[in-house]
Structure 1
């Protein structure tokens, strides 16, 4: 006796089977992702905070303030002066309750290859604590020396000159590259990137000094 012949699966049956398999896969995958997130998100968040603090401490010595800097933050809904029309973050450094510095996010929108993101420390008396470029797309080997990690001159990186700027001796109007009549040096053949950074730093410093009292007073101090 011959074995009974199984009916060929219909297109609808195949579609339903495939759909059920995909649903089961999605449920399992989502569960795994949720478990991974729960297990790692606190560690990741802590790492992000530590990296942020490490970067800030490069431009503002930790001994110069005694507050929990990352908790003493001010979120601005808009800060076009900082190149951030959709909002910016400012951290306020204090010592014994007194203002020490404003640490600000800022963007130079006119880099050679697009926007240049920075973090800038402006001391309470108007001097610059320092500047760090945190994201850019400038030409490798040409304009990327604005980033100290890519600057070949490790002993005297280009960005370090901002940490010596003092409006009492060098007016903010001169915080621009020498080619434009200012006091900021640059390297031959690569003017656009340092010009963008210098101009953005000058705008940020002017904004910080004009609004210093309001920025330190705004919001509750943690």
Structure 2
């Protein structure tokens, strides 16, 4: 009996040591890769800026300044989000918002949302996500043209019921077998428009060099 108990304790100790080693490895990998992942996301954000602007503006020699925003209810993240003010001849032509859809099917979805000076959307792009391949990943332009539905859309009222998937009475298509992902993206883009409406002038006046 004593030998059996000792064997069980020995196995338990080995399992505990293995679990500790695995946890330590995950912590170490995360420590050394977190900054690199953040840098990659930032590079993708900069690259995607032109994609969410009107083509004419994107092709021009525009100027840009940055504003750092923190608004978890409307921008989906308690961390700082960057807003880029795109200008020509000292006049703001568009704002590009970094935002998060926190309620995607497989976690947070990072987005860029371009908003024209008249409050209409110039473009939306997904910067990072973990949605299911073949279903939720249709939010990517290389998978489908779904994201282009936002172009030129705007809020006509605070309770604009069009901002929902058709299944919920709105105007946006969903994906067969994957409604959670488009719902999350639509909600996030709509929230950006709410934030833009309330803060546009402050952002333009307070923006500084990036």
State the distance in 2 between where 1:161 and 1:90 align.
22
Q: Deviations over 1:103-132 (max 9, x none)?
A: 011100111111111011011111001100
Classify the secondary structure of the residue corresponding to 1:164.
Answer: coil
Q: Deviations over 1:81-123 (max 9, x none)?
A: 1112121101001121112111011100111111111011011
State the distance in 2 between where 1:211 and 1:106 align.
15
Q: Report the alpha carbon displacement of residue 190 of structure 1 after superposing the two structures with TM.
A: 1.2
Q: Are 1:186 and 2:182 counterparts?
A: no
1:144·1:150 contact (CA, 8 Å) conserved in 2?
yes
Q: Report the alpha carbon displacement of residue 52 of structure 1 after superposing the two structures with TM.
A: 3.9
When the two chains are superposed, the root-mean-square deviation of aligned CA atoms in Å is 2.6
How many residues are matched? 169
Classify the secondary structure of the residue corresponding to 2:132.
Answer: coil
Name 2:86's counterpart in structure 1: 93
State the distance in 2 between where 1:61 and 1:116 align.
23
Q: 1:214 to 1:51 in 2, by over 3 A?
A: same
State the distance in 2 between where 1:93 and 1:182 align.
31
**Higher-RCO chain (CA-CA 8 Å, sequence separation at least 6):** 2
Q: Are 1:218 and 2:210 counterparts?
A: no
State the distance in 2 between where 1:130 and 1:98 align.
20
Normalising by structure 1, we get a TM-score of: 0.68
1:110·1:196 contact (CA, 8 Å) conserved in 2?
yes
Choose the corresponding residue for 2:71, options 58, 62, 79. 79
State the distance in 1 between where 2:133 and 2:147 align.
16
Normalising by structure 2, we get a TM-score of: 0.72
State the distance in 2 between where 1:108 and 1:61 align.
23
Name 1:141's counterpart in structure 2: 134
Classify the secondary structure of the residue corresponding to 1:167.
Answer: coil
State the distance in 2 between where 1:84 and 1:116 align.
11
- Provide structure 2 residue ranges, at least 5 long, that are not aligned to the other structure: 1-38
Name 2:25's counterpart in structure 1: none
Name 2:116's counterpart in structure 1: 123
State the distance in 2 between where 1:60 and 1:130 align.
6
Q: 1:165 to 1:215 in 2, by over 3 A?
A: same
Task: Tell which structure's C-alpha radius of gyration is larger.
Answer: 1
- Provide structure 1 residue ranges, at least 5 long, that are not aligned to the other structure: 1-44, 152-156
